[in-house]
Amino acid sequence: MKHTLAQKILQNHTDETITSDGQIVRCKLDMILANDITGQIAVKSFRAMGAKKVFDKDKIALVMDHFTPQKDIASANQVIVSRQFAQEQNITHYYEGADCGVEHTLLPEQGIVAPGDLIIGADSHTCTYGGIGAFSTGMGSTDIAAGMVLGETWFKVPPTVRVEITGTPDRHLRGKDLILMLIGKIGVDGALYKALEFGGPVVDALPVEGRLTMANMAIEAGAKCGLFPCDALTIEYCHAHKRPDVNAPLAADPGCQYERTVTLDVTGQEPVVACPHIPSNVKNASELKDVKIDQVVIGSCTNGRYSDMLDAAEMLKGRKVAKGVRCIILPSTPAVWRKCLDEGLIELFMDAGCIIGPCTCGPCLGGHMGVLGDGERCISTTNRNFRGRMGSLESEVYLASPVTAAASAVAGHIASPKDL
């Protein structure tokens, strides 16, 4: 049988022979992830099972990123549970404090995940690692606890939707625009329990950090995972991020069967924005110039990497954030923060009138570091804009790339980068 990329990775982790989509297979796991919110629930389930030891202390990552630094007693107590568990089990990959970053940026950066891996995480955006060719998906905390004990779990082999991206992209078009365009086309349930497999000439040229952004939001289309092939760009990325052992390309078999193919031609396409209150409500940025904003957030597991910071800097250099607008910038890991400092971006952001925060998920989930009040509008590089996602039920969140978000910060309203 010729395999899609999803089938191929699952086949490499099971002793059963995969013959069709929908088949249930038991697979061995390469990495299991939880954070400060979900980790403490997984630990409680672990103990309720009567388990004494995790299956492999090197294959579990606990990242205290959602409320870092902890904002109140409840969030501090959540971390205590995971911290004590990590100490008890001698967990290798425990991150808190100065070495902690947003989990889905941190793990690829630290070489903890790699192409061909099978990864589960107690966070819906675990699908991010598909950007480097890993089958990664979110699960509930009880399933995570079982994975910690057994080192394996079951999967239903997902059908695959092939996404071909063609054409000549505008110089300001980014991975965020591409994934929003796709979600706008197929809807938030357009890939429900399916694998999205990306290809085409635009994808072939897309930097790995852009691929990670796109895979991150596969879940916003309902997908089980979003997958990119491991090619020369992926191998180069892995070598630069503590994985010199990654040298083999990984792709779907030619002639494999897809459920369907969706084609996006980006020629002439300008940057886009997802309007409230659903990621599929996508419009061109130039159509939204009458939308005034109160806040801009640039960061998160979707767009907090160094390339995202560079994109924001391009728009903010020599300019000022509009009066009355709060522009919050959250580099997503200490390494990204340090590089921004070393390369002068922190000074540039401060000169422009931005607020520079720690490496936290923070406002993305309405947690802290930028919660919205009644009637406020925010354009954000995060991944969800459901009602109340970033604070008040009466607030509005618009999703965009860092280029568009930063341009909007300067304009004081939603703006296309070309407006500057």
Residue 105 and residue 147 in one domain: yes
Query: Do 306 and 397 have their domain in common?
Result: yes
The answer to whether residues 126 and 244 belong to one domain is no
Give the single-character DSSP code of 217: G
The total number of structural domains that make up the chain:
3
CATH number at residue 341: 3.30.499.10
Same domain, 237 and 298: no
Using CB atoms within 10 Å of the CB of residue 365, give its burial: 0 to 12 exposed, 13 to 18 middle, 19+ buried. Answer: middle
Which domain, by its residues, includes 109? 5-16+25-156
Give pLDDT tens digits along the chain (420 positions): 999 999 999 999 999 999 999 999 999 999 999 999 999 999 999 999 999 999 999 999 999 999 989 999 999 999 999 999 999 999 999 999 999 999 999 999 999 999 999 999 999 999 999 999 999 999 999 999 999 999 999 999 999 999 999 999 999 999 999 999 999 999 999 999 999 999 999 999 999 999 999 999 999 999 999 999 999 999 999 999 999 999 999 999 999 999 999 999 999 999 999 999 999 999 999 999 999 999 999 999 999 999 999 999 999 999 999 999 999 999 999 999 999 999 999 999 999 999 999 999 999 999 999 999 999 999 999 999 999 999 999 999 999 999 999 999 999 999 999 998
Q: What is the pLDDT of residue 41?
A: 97
For residue 155, give the 3-state DSSP assignment: strand
pLDDT of residue 102: 98
pLDDT at 386: 96
**pLDDT score for 105:** 98
Inter-residue contact 206 to 175 (CB < 8 Å): yes
Q: What's the CATH code of the domain at 184?
A: 3.40.1060.10
Q: Are residues 323 and 216 in the same domain?
A: no
CB 135 within 8 A of CB 225: yes
Whether residues 357 and 384 fall in one domain: yes
Q: Residue 162: beta bridge partners?
A: 197, 261
Cβ atoms < 10 Å from Cβ of 126? 30
List the structure tokens of 325: 């607008």
Please indicate, yes or no, whether residues 192 and 176 belong to a single structural domain of this protein.
yes
Q: What is the rounded distance in angstroms from the CA atom of residue 79 to the CA atom of residue 87?
A: 12
